[in-house]
Every structure is written in C-alpha cells, then in structure tokens.
Amino acid sequence: MPSLVRLLTHPETRRPGPPPVSVDLRKVVLWGMAAWGVALVVTGILALTGTLRWTAAAVCASGLALGGLGLLWERRHR
C-alpha cells in the first residue's frame, strides 16, 4: 500500500473515484421545502402566541423562498 505522502504527491497512483450518482434534485428540494413549510407553520403559531419572535418565522419563509429558487434552477439545468 502506498504511503500518504506518495498518494498526495503522485495523484495518478490513486484509484479512480466512483462515478457520480444520478439524483432527482426536484425531490430533494421539495422535501426541504416541506420541512421549511412545517417549520414556518410551527414558528408562526408560536409567534402568534408570543412565545417566539417573528424573526424565526421570517427565516423559515426565507428557506421556502430559496427552495423555490432552487426549483427554478433545477428546471433550467435538467
């Protein structure tokens, strides 16, 4: 087995990396948006009762908005 120094100085002696896995990014983004949506509902209820500040709900809304941008990006780069 080659030493670590040899592997770092001569990368051609390493084994090739595995091929990338094909993943449906739309499903990943939608699951993330669902999680942000649940968090938005929970933080919204807690903010209405005065237990939590509205900034937490704003963070969740930002997560939903960024997820929407992620869906648009995924659609263009399909």
What would the pLDDT profile of 24-75 be if each residue is shown by its tens digit? 999 999 999 999 999 999 999 999 999 999 999 999 999 999 999 999 999 9
Integer Rg of the chain from CA: 21
Confidence at residue 4, expressed as pLDDT on a 0 to 100 scale: 80
User: What is the C-alpha separation between 1 and 8, in angstroms, rounded?
Assistant: 13
Structure tokens at 45: 């209820």
Tokens representing 30 are 């939608």
pTM exceeds cut of 0.85: no
- Dihedral (CA of 48, 53, 55, 61) sign: negative
**pLDDT above 90 (res 78):** no
Q: Taking the domains of the chain in order of start, what are their residue ranges?
A: 25-78
Quote the strand ranges of the chain, DSSP E.
Answer: none
